[in-house]
């Protein structure tokens, strides 16, 4: 009976058309993709056999995750490597029912190793075309400032977004260590204002590593239209009321929050309560292979550990579509498919 129920749940999750709104370029690199990069760049220190790489990739704790992330990031040396990451993500997501991705790219990471912005953009454009043609996954991009690198990172990210944007650039964000942002606040506020004036959507991370004050900051100063994580909101009743009234989407990544130590146990994750409070929540994977998860796996976690029913899973899938920056016609088509899957 348990096997039958499990299979039935897997079938239902697979039937849901999905979008992925919170996933990072380097953090999306699966074993197959990293092997390709490691063999392309021998002597990098990253294992070049599958068995060794699987041991290296197995999540242990946050410091180990950071070390793995840095090691993989160091393999991204040429525009071809950027395209390999994007295509690897599309290949991995397609069997999970993913149709559309808003992939978070950090131009500063490519800038500091000497990649010209134009060549990075060409790689992103090529990869987006091939992702759709070869895997049926539509790829859009969000340019993300690594907050701890301050004013220079903000300038590099903004200049790339305004002067050499990829064709499907839809958003402008900020990630990294939230606690480090305060001293660069003016530079970040200015960068977001310029990006928004150019027509990019404001999609910052906030309320993951810090409290609700960071969420208020991105709402009031960066014009946030969607917030990455946002799990700290529940400690501020005024913020909860604001989020409920405005239906500002929160892109939640449960397994990531546990792995990075923001939540002690998956059963303690605030996602169910956020839904009970009437908040607009989407479900995402963040850095999936590094946290031993997948986008479809997050739906399974929501069902098995957070006790969400099928109607709630379908609602999360629909929320992702509505919160995306897809054209309305594409949204309507995907929402109709989700309605049939229910």
CB 109 within 8 A of CB 76: yes
pLDDT of residue 84: 98
CB 174 within 8 A of CB 181: yes
The three-point CA angle 37-173-266 to 5° equals: 75
Q: Which residues of 58-76 are buried (b: 16+ CB within 10 A; e: fewer)?
A: ebeeeeebeebbebbbbbb
- 6 pLDDT band, cuts 50/70/90, is low
Better-scored residue on pLDDT, 88 or 58 = 88
- Domain coordinates in residue numbering, the chain: 2-33+84-341
CA dihedral 84→86→92→95, nearest 10 degrees, is -130
Nearest in space to 84 (alpha carbons), one of 28, 132, 142, 157:
28
Q: Is 52 a catalytic residue?
A: no
Would you say residue 54 has pLDDT above 60?
Answer: yes
**Stretch 143-165: mean pLDDT, rounded?**
97
118: left (phi over 0), alpha (psi -120 to 50) or beta: alpha
- 272 pLDDT band, cuts 50/70/90, is very high
326: left (phi over 0), alpha (psi -120 to 50) or beta: beta
The three-point CA angle 132-195-201 to 5° equals: 50
- 1 pLDDT band, cuts 50/70/90, is very low
CATH of domain 2-33+84-341: 3.20.20.140
- Tens of pLDDT, residue by residue over 208-250, are 999 999 999 999 999 999 999 999 999 999 999 999 999 999 9
Mean pLDDT of the chain: 95
CB 224 within 8 A of CB 248: yes
Give every CB contact of residue 40 below 8 A, 6+ residues apart in sequence: 75, 80, 81, 84
Q: How far apart are the first and last CA of the chain?
A: 22
Q: pTM above the 0.85 mark?
A: yes
- 49 pLDDT band, cuts 50/70/90, is confident
Better-scored residue on pLDDT, 182 or 244 = 244
Which residue in the list 102, 138, 178, 208 is annotated as catalytic?
A: 208
**Stretch 35-41: mean pLDDT, rounded?**
92
């Amino acid at each position: 009976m348990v096997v039958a129920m499990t299979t039935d749940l897997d079938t239902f999750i697979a039937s849901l058309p999905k979008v992925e709104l919170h996933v990072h370029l380097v953090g999306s690199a699966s074993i197959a993709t990293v092997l390709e990069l490691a063999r392309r760049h021998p002597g990098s220190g990253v294992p070049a056999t599958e068995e060794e790489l699987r041991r290296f990739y197995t999540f242990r704790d946050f410091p180990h995750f950071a070390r793995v992330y840095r090691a993989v990031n160091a393999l991204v040396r040429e525009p071809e490597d950027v395209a390999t990451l994007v295509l690897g993500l599309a290949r991995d997501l397609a069997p999970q029912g993913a149709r559309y991705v808003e992939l978070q790219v950090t131009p500063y990471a490519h800038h500091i190793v000497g990649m010209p912005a134009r060549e990075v953009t060409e790689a992103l454009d090529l990869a987006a075309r091939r992702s759709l043609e070869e895997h049926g996954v539509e790829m859009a991009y969000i340019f993300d400032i690594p907050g701890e690198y301050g004013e220079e990172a903000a300038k590099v990210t903004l200049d790339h977004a305004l002067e050499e944007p990829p064709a499907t650039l839809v958003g402008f964000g900020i990630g990294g260590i939230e606690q480090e942002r305060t001293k660069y606040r003016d530079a970040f506020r200015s960068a977001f204002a310029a990006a928004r004036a150019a027509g990019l959507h404001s999609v910052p991370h906030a309320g993951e590593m810090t409290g609700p004050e960071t969420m208020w900051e991105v709402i009031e100063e960066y014009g946030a239209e969607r917030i990455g994580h946002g799990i700290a909101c529940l400690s501020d009743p005024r913020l909860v009321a604001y989020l409920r009234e405005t239906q500002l989407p929160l892109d939640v990544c449960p397994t990531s929050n546990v792995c990075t130590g923001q939540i002690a146990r998956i059963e303690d994750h605030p996602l169910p309560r956020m839904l009970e409070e009437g908040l607009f929540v989407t479900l995402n994977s963040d850095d999936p292979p590094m946290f031993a998860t997948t986008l479809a796996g997050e739906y399974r976690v929501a069902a098995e550990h957070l006790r969400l029913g099928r109607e709630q899973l379908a609602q999360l899938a629909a929320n992702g579509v509505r919160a995306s920056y897809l054209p309305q016609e594409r949204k309507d088509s995907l929402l109709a498919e989700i309605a049939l899957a229910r």
